[in-house]
Structure 1
Amino acid sequence: MIKQTAITCVLLATLSACTQTNQSANESGYTQPVANFNTYSAETFYNTTSIVGSAFSPDGKRILVSSDKSGIFNLYEVDVKTGDKVQLTDASDSIYPLRYFPNDNRILFTQDKGGNELMHVFVRHENAKVQDLTPGENVRARFIGFSKDASAFYILSNQRDQRFMDLYRYDAKTHASELVYKNDKNLNVQSVSETDRYLALINSQGNKDSDLFLLDLTDPKAQLIEISNVSHEANFSASAFSKDDKYLYYGTDAHGEFYQNWRYEIATGQHTPYIEKDWDVRFLYFSDSDRYRVIGVNEDSSIKVTVTDLRTNQDIQLPKLPAGSIKRVDFSDDEKQMSFYLNSDTSPNNLYVWQVGSDSVKQLTSTLSDKINPDHLVESTIARFKSFDGLEVPGVLYKPKLASSATKVPALIYVHGGPGGQSMTGYSARVQHLVNQGYAIFAVNNRGSSGYGKTFYHLDDKRHGEDDLQDIVWSKKYLQELDWIDPDRIGIMGGSYGGYMTAAALAFEPDEFKVGINVFGVTNWVRTLESIPPWWEAYRKALYEELGDPAVDGERLRRISPLFHAKNITKPLMVVQGANDPRVLQVESDELVEAVRSNNVPVEYVLFEDEGHGFTKKENRVEASQAYLDFLRKHL
């Protein structure tokens, strides 16, 4: 096996921002006028701070967040009035916030080790002592929520059996736990009502069909009540219980192409349409008093958030804000304050707080590097093209500032993760860095992507590496028709499923793309599907329905696996991998690199010993992004 911890060609010490005020140049040597336009290094782009979390403290004076300002995600408290930040943890592995305890300043957070995805739930006591509430070497846990009276909280854990997530009730004072639901039916607990009475559970029957159930915990003899009340295949998921347990709100695609939200009255069993849009209703939740409702709609690769005051049944109107999309809305306990993030293609997440009903909003963070002029970044557009069979395929397109018919630029087709993921609008340091350096990016939502209806989503079932790959090939043809793209310099890049598509494109369409960058992509579907983590047991059937069962479909899976066709790869390849990745094992990348190198093809391999399926450490993200750029400069 091949093991490397760094790329010898990358010298981070050489990273610096450069300015192009009169001309720009690429590796082909041409120069064209570009007025007042700066390019910035990977280090500068990742000097931008990433921030998540927006939960208020019980007194409403602070907001709990996690920031990677130190290079690793750690917990901070943000003062609502001043925006001052106090760092609470100094960890070597990234920490993500959950919430404060309802009546004191204890904090719940979650963390894994080196990206192994075995998330544990921790409590940080008021004296700063940290306690693991879910200890165990192979334990995976997920916080669900507090009871209405705040005397207890709920955590899902696989401590009994790695395959199944059981539900435990924790005493809020002593942290003593008791098993309240033994998941011997291999269901997925999605929600607990705040009165502690009901559970909402999902049984995955495949990638087209999932059943929603209700269970009354107060009745030891209670049977599961099926909420999914249609005879045809459809997916269901729980959204929220009303605070009085009168209703269960749920999402489903049972009544059309897109996910709608319905309301189930528990006492009568009546189903009523609740939120119907022409796009997927991505999420729905309520403030603590049920006064405010928050919904997010996945509208053409952008999330549109609406907050409604249910007393007046009117959508609330915020004061004027910079351009962008609102994300992650939270209310203080007294519901007099609302926190949220604002994000756009040219601005990363920034935290805001609004005194509800007032005329002004306070920005609490400024996360973009102060060395970057946002006017030098690029807004995306949604582009569509016809694929090989006439299907219309959308994507998110980024045009570099210097691109024109006189200055044609190289391009990358960018493929999202999944299968079944979606490329969305919004800030990406990785994308903006490459676009800023003169590379067009087309983030294609090929057939099989979410967000464009269930028919579109299922078009690639058991056809991966075939019809979806042809969408990628035809997206290249679309780019070649644009007068600002160099038609002879188009590569492909992606992570996870997108990494697979990159390797598949080079193996099965070896003359189409000039280069490929495979970031922790699957290369051998048989091995990947045979080695899925135990905690994915509830979704094994859905994975097999989409991709194939290795015991039954092994021949086809080998046919679409790039590793078995690596002899066809003749174009330069970069492979990036995390050593702790539990989804795409390191051996996947090791073997592909070895096989392609035997073809005497240029291959660059980056292995991060301290990462998993995605890179959480800022220094690693910088190294990877600079490596992408160096590779593209050399080969594209």
Structure 2
Amino acid sequence: MNHKLSALLILTSLLVGCSEPKTSTQKAASAAQPQVNNSKPAEVVSQIPSYSAETFFKTISIYGSRINHTGEYALVSSDESGIYNAYQYPLNGDQPKQLTQSTTDAIWVVDWFPADDRFLYSSDQGGNELNHVYVQSPDGTVKDLTPGENLKASFVGWHESDKWFYIASNERDAKVFDLYQYSVEDYSRTLIFENDNNYFISGIAPNGEWLGLSKPNRNTDTDLIIANVKSGKLINLSDGEKDAQVDLLDFSPDNNTLAYSTNLTGEFAQPWTYNIDSGEHKQIADLNWDVAYLVYSPSGKYRVMGVNEDASTVVTITEQASGQQVVIPNLAAGDIRGVNFSSDESVVNFLLNSDTSPSNLYTYQLGSNAPKKLTSTLADEMNEQHLVASSVVRFKSYDELEIASLLFKPKQASSTNKVPALIWIHGGPGGQSRTGYSAARQHLVNHGYAIFAVNNRGSSGYGKTFYHLDDKKHGDVDLKDIVYGKKYLQSLDWVDTDKIGLIGGSYGGYLTMAGLAFTDEFEVGINIFGVTNWVRTLKSIPPWWEAFKESLYQEMGDPATDEERHRAISPLFHASNIKAPVLIVQGANDPRVLQVESDEMVEAIRQNNVPVDYVLFDDEGHGFRNKSNRIEASQAYVNFLKKHL
């Protein structure tokens, strides 16, 4: 788990948009490479074509790269069918096979079974985030391993014997997650850890003896505790006197060591190991950025580490015995994601993603001359040369604090052809705008809108001091950073200084509405399932976020004592100030930002006789899984901006 988010997991989960569910065994990762090799020939383009939303979303989105027990196939979630389903991709390059046939609910693959071609996946109901864990057999038979109403479950790991696996579920008590051991043979199960102290379960050792537990104390302090499942013995790996975010990264395959991250000694999370037998702590590397994750290959021969460097993640694969790095030759630029080894460690699978290229699946035979590309996910009608890569830029805010951001300059922009601009605000608070492909973002840039993704104070990735600068100052200091982002845009000779708006999802939707309610700086706003009434939101958090409630309150304020401030920063109660046109997009099943928030905001803006468009998806939650809905939303952004900006 990313250390910057652990203590505020609720809040980040609450207010960051749709993303791929992760498990402790998925070995997910990201990395930056030096340059882009475009999949289509370079050409001199006198006029960039405007691609439709439908064309952008003909692009296929894929997640996962787990290799089956024979080393023949990868298990992938793909939205090629219109919604995410499970697919089997042969590593020899043959045609993929669709394994599930969902038309309504997104299916997120977890893993193959260790000795056969059954596989696990996770799915909720219409975006309500009450995920269950399912197993599908090779004949297509599906079994819900976590049946019941109003429960939430997640996969935790496999036992090294290949006889059992582990699932966390809150079925006994909605506020806590217990751990169950399941039989691989018949799916019978045993409760092995009753979570009476409301820990967050973050991983389990391969032999099942030690369990990783996270205990948020404050939003600056999270303990990492390991518990012996049989004896009940607890070992706290955190410093009892100083605040620090301490998080489990991975247990070693030999069960003797665990890797963890901590920011105890400085601004950034550093990778450490702890030897369970000797009690020795050892720092692995001295980084100038946060370690994002660290995982081991099946035998522990290799260590894969990702570091969050300036909004991109750099991955290294290290052979532990020699300390030598594994270099994948002839690899195009981008972020490496979803790194997975075959059981014999001769093959590694991964996804490669960049601003101008959606994730593609690659497989690499260690020691060979080049990886093999198994997918081509960009729409056939599109030329990668027409898309735009971001630049990392920094500007000074109102108090001289430096703010890092990503700038996307449209191909058609120049000093003689000035373009309108949108400040793109990430979710969170505590999220980060990062490099990588976004069809919606590229659609806007392609249609002539500059995108400025501002990582305002409170964003993760820039040190713990920066991360906490917005605590209980939301809608104030973070919004001032957004305003100064506008001033930076106005200094560029290719930006139309009178045509600058806001767009954001989740917490970014909140700051979008705050920018319109509390300033007169912006011409338009696009609010994508954003909080507009903090009084309601903080009083209606789901019960399964109980473990992180206190950390949430220390970040945002306790609704029992801070309601006056929450009302003061909530755009709904200041809607009479909003004069600029607004587009609001919402999922009816959203459990984090309830539909009523957007309903009330729309009505309040209409009472001002201000133009407001409202797009409501009946079959979506917090983030849009259905491709047709993503197309409709993206087209709505462009139509709205064409009319009002």
Q: Distance in 2 between matches of 1:201 and 1:614?
A: 28
Query: For residue 270 of structure 1, what is the aligned residue in structure 2?
Result: 280
Give per-residue Cα distances to partners, 1:493-542, cap 9 Å, x unaligned.
00000000000000000x20000000000000010011011111111111
Could you give the per-residue CA deviations for residues 37-56 of structure 1, whole angstroms, max 9, x where no partner exists? 22201110000000011001
* Superposition map of 1:214-225 within 5 A: 214-219=226-231, 222-225=232-235
Q: Equivalent residue for 2:610?
A: 601
> Which residue type is aligned with residue 91 of structure 2?
V
Partner SS state of residue 404, structure 2: strand
Deviations 1:149-197 (A, max 9, x none): 1110000000001110100000110101111000110101111100111
Tell whether the 8 Å contact from 1:338 to 1:353 is kept in structure 2 after alignment. Answer: yes
SS in 2 for 1:459: coil
Write the letter of the residue equivalent to 1:215.
Answer: A
3-state secondary structure, aligned to 2:352: strand
Task: Map 1:260-409 to 2 at 5 A.
Answer: 260-409=270-419
CA RMSD after TM alignment: 1.0
Larger Rg: 1
Q: Which amino acid aligns with 1:141?
A: A
Q: How does 1:33-112 map to 2 (within 5 A)?
A: 35-91=46-102, 92-112=104-124
CA distance in 2 between counterparts of 1:104 and 1:482 reads 58
Does structure 1 conserve the Cα–Cα contact (< 8 Å) formed by 2:422 and 2:449?
yes
Identity of counterpart residues, as a percentage?
56
Q: Do residues 442 (structure 1) and 452 (structure 2) align?
A: yes
- Aligned-pair CA distance for 1:275: 2.6
Within 2, Cα distance between the matches of 1:252 and 1:106? 37
Per mean C-alpha deviation after superposition, the further-off stretch among 317-326 and 176-185 is 317-326
| Alignment partner, residue 535 of structure 1 | 544
For 2:566, the equivalent position in structure 1 comes to 557
Which amino acid is the alignment partner of residue 342 of structure 1?
A: L
The equivalent of 2:502 in structure 1 is: 492
Q: 2:531 aligns with which of 474, 498, 522?
A: 522
Distance 1:34 1:308 in 2: 42
Q: 2 CA distance for matches of 1:408 and 1:298?
A: 33
Structure 2 residue ranges without an equivalent (≥5): 1-43
Q: Which residue of 1 aligns with 2:21?
A: none
CA distance in 1 between counterparts of 2:161 and 2:440 reads 44
Q: CA deviation at 1:270?
A: 1.7
* 1:5-53 Cα deviation digits (max 9, x unpaired): xxxxxxxxxxxxxxxxxxxxxxxxxxxx971422201110000000011
Q: Where does structure 1 lack aligned partners over 5 or more consecutive residues? A: 1-32
Is the 8 Å Cα contact of residues 351 and 364 (structure 1) preserved in structure 2?
A: yes
Is the contact made by 2:422 and 2:502 (CA closer than 8 Å) also made in structure 1?
yes
Offset, 1:311: 2.7
User: How far 1:230 sits from its partner (Å)?
Assistant: 4.7
Is structure 2 residue 626 aligned with structure 1 residue 610? Answer: no
Secondary structure in 1 matching 2:592 = coil
Quick check: 1:230–1:254 contact (8 Å CA) kept in 2? Answer: no
Higher relative contact order (CA 8 A, sep 6+): 2
Paired residue for 1:147? Answer: 159
Partner residue, 1:126: 138
Compare 461-470 and 243-252 and name the one that shifted more: 243-252
CA-to-aligned-CA distance 1:473-494 (integer Å, 9 cap, x gap): 0000000000000000000000
* Alignment correspondent of 1:466: 476
CA distance in 1: counterparts of 2:551 and 2:86, whole angstroms = 35
Q: In the alignment, does 2:558 pair up with 1:546?
A: no
Residues 83 and 365 in structure 1, CA contact (< 8 A), matched pair in contact too: no
Alignment of 1:418-457 (within 5 A): 418-457=428-467
1:258 corresponds to 2:268: yes
- Verify the 8 A CA contact 2:347 2:363 in the aligned structure 1: yes
Shift of 1:442: 0.2
Q: How much has 1:268 moved relative to structure 2?
A: 2.0
- Alignment deviations for residues 47-74 of structure 1 (CA, whole Å, 9 cap, x no partner): 0000011001110001010110010100
- Whether the aligned pair in 1 keeps the contact of 2:67 and 2:75 (CA below 8 Å) is yes
1:131 Cα deviation (Å)? 0.3
1:226 to 222, 236, 244: 236
C-alpha distance in 1 between matches for 2:315 and 2:240: 29
8 Å Cα contact 1:34-1:402 kept in structure 2: no
- Per the alignment, in what secondary structure is the counterpart of residue 170 of structure 2? strand
Cα distance in structure 2, aligned partners of 1:306 and 1:328: 13
Q: How many residues align?
A: 601
Q: CA deviation at 1:425?
A: 0.5
The answer to whether the Cα contact below 8 Å between 2:254 and 2:300 also exists between their aligned partners in 1 is: no
SS of match in other structure, 1:604? strand
What's the counterpart of residue 161 of structure 1? Answer: 173
Cα 1:38–1:607 shift into 2, 3 Å: same
Deviation readout 1:427-460 (Å, 9 max, x if unpaired): 1101100000000000000000000000000000
**Alignment match, 1:10:** none
How far apart, CA to CA, are the structure 2 residues paired with 1:324 and 1:261? 24
**TM-score, length of structure 2 as denominator length:** 0.92
Residue 493 (structure 2) pairs with residue 483 (structure 1): yes
Work out the CA distance in 1 between the residues paired with 2:334 and 2:212.
34
Distance 1:34 1:378, change over 3 A: same
Q: CA deviation at 1:82?
A: 2.0
Equivalent pair of 1:395/1:443 in contact (CA under 8 Å): yes
Give 1:276 shift: 2.3
Contact 2:224–2:248 (Cα < 8 Å) also in 1:
yes
State the distance in 1 between where 2:335 and 2:183 align: 38
User: Which residue in the other structure is 2:24 paired with?
Assistant: none
Q: Following TM superposition, by how much is the alpha carbon of 1:470 offset from its aligned partner in structure 2, in angstroms?
A: 0.3
Mapping 1:6-45, distance limit 5 Å: 35-45=46-56
Partners of 1:181 and 1:296 in 2: CA distance: 31
Q: Which amino acid aligns with 1:37?
A: I
Q: Does structure 2 conserve the Cα–Cα contact (< 8 Å) formed by 1:238 and 1:251?
A: yes
3-state DSSP of counterpart to 2:634: helix
Q: Distance in 2 between matches of 1:206 and 1:328?
A: 31
Structure 2 match to 1:566:
575
Distance 1:635 1:170 in 2: 56
The residue that corresponds to 1:210 in the other structure is 222
